[in-house]
């Protein structure tokens, strides 16, 4: 498709927003050589959120294993198994399952139940608290900073926090960010995002899933155009 765009038009493109894919970077660098490349902030934040959730899931599996062992022990002693419950009524396993959504949100957006659950979670699992703090501070870099140089300084401080935390998942993320450092900071030039494209892509995926796959590609594209194209 890019080959159909004439060279003059491609050279006129000044900015392209993309994800962390190396193949996408290569395409943009080749097709739009004059364009500034911007890594979308939401792809960056999602990596940090995934790292927090990965840690929560690890603890959840450990909690399941512990519960199974406790049940076996109770059975061996011919006793009824009664799981330990925290002050909010959650068992250890329920605490980790029900904490999923609150870890995606800022603390000021938690409900009262989520605040209570978060307090218990962070007391029981300090490493989750530390990971959540790193994720939240990264989110604040993009939300509060409006000047590129200020964001650069904030990002450097975040790297230091990651190094001090000594968490493998976040060290991997920090190394990834280092490779894309300038393109991440280019976000502050115009605060560009490809959120609309991501949203449209999600609609196409859902439409394709509802059709149980695509047999006729041309007809599929025709239907997409009829459903989503702007009227002329």
User: Are residues 200 and 228 in contact, defined by beta-carbon separation less than 8 angstroms?
Assistant: yes
Over residues 96-104, mean pLDDT:
95
Backbone angles phi, psi at 16, to 5 degrees: -135, 130
| Per-residue CA distances from 24 to 44, 177, 203, 204, 231 (Å) | 15, 16, 21, 20, 30
Q: Quick check: 82 pLDDT over 70?
A: yes
The owner of tokens 């939300």 is: 143
Largest alpha-carbon pair distance within the chain? 81
Inter-axis angle of helices 126-144 and 41-76, nearest 10: 170
* Residue 229, burial from CB neighbour count under 10 angstroms (0-12, 13-18, 19+): exposed
Q: Which residues of 54-76 are buried (b: 16+ CB within 10 A; e: fewer)?
A: ebbeebbeebeeebeeeeeeeee
Q: Quick check: 19 pLDDT over 80?
A: yes
Lowest mean pLDDT among 1-5, 100-104, 115-119, 221-225: 1-5
pLDDT digits (tens, 9 = 90+) for 190-228: 888 776 777 777 788 887 888 777 788 888 888 778 777
Over residues 33-37, mean pLDDT:
89
Question: Which helix (DSSP H) or strand (DSSP E) does residue 16 occupy?
Answer: strand 15-18
| Tokens describing residue 197 | 């494209």
Over residues 96-117, mean pLDDT:
94
Cα–Cα distance measured from residue 185 to residue 101, given in angstroms and rounded to the nearest whole number: 28
Query: How confident is residue 231, by pLDDT bands cut at 50, 70 and 90?
Result: low
Over residues 89-114, mean pLDDT:
94
CA angle 76, 82, 84 (to 5 degrees): 120
| Per-residue CA distances from 171 to 36, 86, 137, 168, 177 (Å) | 27, 32, 15, 5, 10
**pLDDT value, residue 2:** 63
**pLDDT value, residue 205:** 82
| Per-residue CA distances from 112 to 100, 128, 151, 214 (Å) | 16, 20, 32, 46
| Tokens describing residue 220 | 């599929």
pLDDT digits (tens, 9 = 90+) for 132-186: 999 999 989 888 878 888 888 998 899 889 988 888 888 888 888 888 888 888 8
pLDDT digits (tens, 9 = 90+) for 42-66: 888 888 999 999 999 999 999 999 9
Lowest mean pLDDT among 14-18, 71-75, 90-94, 96-100: 14-18
Lowest mean pLDDT among 41-45, 84-88, 113-117: 41-45
DSSP 18: E
Residues 6 or more apart whose CB falls under 8 angstroms from that of 178 comprise: 159
């Amino acid at each position: 498709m890019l080959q159909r765009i004439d060279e003059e038009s491609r050279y006129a493109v000044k900015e392209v927003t993309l994800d962390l894919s190396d193949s996408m970077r290569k395409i943009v660098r080749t097709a739009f050589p004059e364009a500034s490349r911007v890594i979308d902030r939401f792809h960056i934040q999602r990596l940090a959120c995934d790292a927090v959730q990965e840690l929560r899931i690890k603890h959840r599996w450990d909690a399941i294993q512990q519960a199974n062992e406790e049940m076996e022990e109770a059975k061996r002693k011919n006793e009824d198994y009664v799981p330990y419950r925290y002050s909010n009524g959650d068992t250890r396993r329920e605490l980790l399952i029900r904490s999923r959504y609150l870890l995606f949100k800022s603390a000021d957006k938690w409900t009262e139940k989520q605040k209570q659950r978060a307090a218990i979670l962070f007391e029981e699992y300090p490493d989750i608290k530390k990971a959540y703090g790193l994720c939240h501070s990264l989110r604040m870099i993009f939300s509060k900073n409006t000047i590129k140089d200020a964001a650069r300084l904030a990002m450097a401080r975040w790297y230091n926090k990651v190094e001090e935390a000594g968490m493998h998942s976040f060290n991997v993320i920090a190394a990834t960010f280092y490779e894309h450092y300038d393109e991440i900071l280019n976000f502050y030039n115009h605060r560009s995002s490809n959120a609309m494209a991501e949203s449209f892509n999600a609609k196409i995926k859902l439409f394709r899933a509802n059709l149980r796959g695509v047999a006729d590609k041309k007809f599929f594209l025709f239907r997409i155009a009829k459903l989503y194209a702007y009227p002329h």
